[in-house]
Structure 1
Amino acid sequence: MTTRTSSSFKTTPDICDDFETTVRVVDPSLGFANFGGKKHFGGQAVTVKCFEDNSKVKELAKSLDGRNKVMVVDGGGSRRRALLGDLVAGDCVQQGWEGLVIFGSIRDVDEIGQLDLGVQALGTHPQKTEKRNEGQVNVPIRFGGVTIHPGDYVVCDNNGIVVNETDPRERIE
């Protein structure tokens, strides 16, 4: 039986079953957790590589149409600064982003939990980043044993995070 939630994507276990030869699963031992108001989300990856500086995250949140997109942020796994807070998350909602996956920390979790936005991150930290305008956008990134390329499909739910090169909604059975 195929299970669906409010997302247009199947659940991550169903995607793993349907795409077992192509799906890549982010290592669950990293401890990603859902913090956003949307617990099941997916879309095409827009990647950001940054370290303790969310300048590029903030820029994309304000300027890019995020419909059907997931911002995937490689923060190097740092838990010493928050790469997302309520103001940037609010900008993401305004621009229609499906969600964010942050290999790092976030803050303002109570506010973010009320937004119609998916957010998975490693944890929380109350301190914001310094703005040095550093980072790279739309480059391949790697964490949790998975390389994520811009345009890959990323789907997240309480079961985990999966990545597939093609749209997992378009499986022909």
Structure 2
Amino acid sequence: MLDLLPDLCDHYEQDVRWLPLTSHDYGGRRLFYGEVVTLRCFEDNSLVREIVSEDGRGKVLFIDGHGSCRFALLGDQLALLAQKNHWEGVIVNGAVRDVATLATIDIGIKALGPCPFKTEKRQTGDRNVTLTVAHTLVYPGDMLYADRNGILLSKAKLDLSPFKAEK
């Protein structure tokens, strides 16, 4: 299935929240979903490495970089580490780099845009906090569903069996 989100909206309209974030697909996987792990950080991706080093089975990392595209919060090395540790995907409210390589990695990646500059490492950020992105609350533990149509959030895991969704 290529278009999961329209079906989810039709079937679970009262249970999903649309995230009106204008993002672009950068990873090799266009359809992905999982439980949200949140990270709020500004132009410092130190904690991203720490998080994607953990087991990410069934999880999506949501990084709120406050919309800054001055420095990339995710690049090929962190994406490969996330893939190795079985993360379903990464959402970046900010920039990514190494975009040609990201497209070859089997993980979902959405971000605002590219930037070739890496971040400084100051060990700053807040993990597992509620985020406000595009006037929408994103809670740790939410379920996130993403495809080329965008991003949906729900409080509980949705039954995808009627849609024969494949990752």
Cα distance in 2 between the residues matched to 1:141 and 1:171 = 30
* 1:115-130 aligned within 5 A: 115-130=105-120
Q: TM-score, normalised by structure 1?
A: 0.90
Q: Which moved more, 1:140-149 or 1:92-101?
A: 140-149
How far residue 21 of structure 1 moved from its aligned partner, in angstroms, is 1.2
CA spacing shift, 1:141–1:171, aligned 2, 3 Å: farther
Does residue 14 of structure 2 align to residue 21 of structure 1? yes
How far residue 171 of structure 1 moved from its aligned partner, in angstroms, is 8.4
Q: Secondary structure at the match of 1:101?
A: strand
Partner in structure 1 of residue 165 of structure 2? none
2:42 aligned partner, one-letter code: F
Does residue 101 of structure 2 align to residue 111 of structure 1? yes
Partner in structure 1 of residue 151 of structure 2? 161
Contiguous gaps of at least 5 residues in structure 1? none
Q: Secondary structure at the match of 2:48?
A: helix
Does residue 47 of structure 2 align to residue 39 of structure 1? no
Q: TM-score, normalised by structure 2?
A: 0.93
Aligned match of 1:141 in 122, 131, 146?
131
How far residue 170 of structure 1 moved from its aligned partner, in angstroms, is 6.3
Identity %: 41
Q: Tell me the alpha carbon deviations over residues 88-115 of structure 1, each in whole angstroms, 9 at most, x when there is no partner.
A: 1010011000000000000001111000
Does residue 45 of structure 2 align to residue 54 of structure 1? yes
Q: Aligned Cα RMSD in Å?
A: 1.5
Q: Secondary structure at the match of 1:89?
A: helix
Structure 1 runs (4+) deviating above 4 angstroms are none
Q: Secondary structure at the match of 2:86?
A: coil
Q: Tell me the alpha carbon deviations over residues 13-45 of structure 1, each in whole angstroms, 9 at most, x when there is no partner.
A: 111112211211111xx4201000000000000
Report how many residues are paired. 162
Aligned match of 2:58 in 32, 49, 68?
68
Cα distance in 2 between the residues matched to 1:70 and 1:91 = 14
Q: Secondary structure at the match of 2:80?
A: helix
Cα distance in 2 between the residues matched to 1:112 and 1:154 = 20
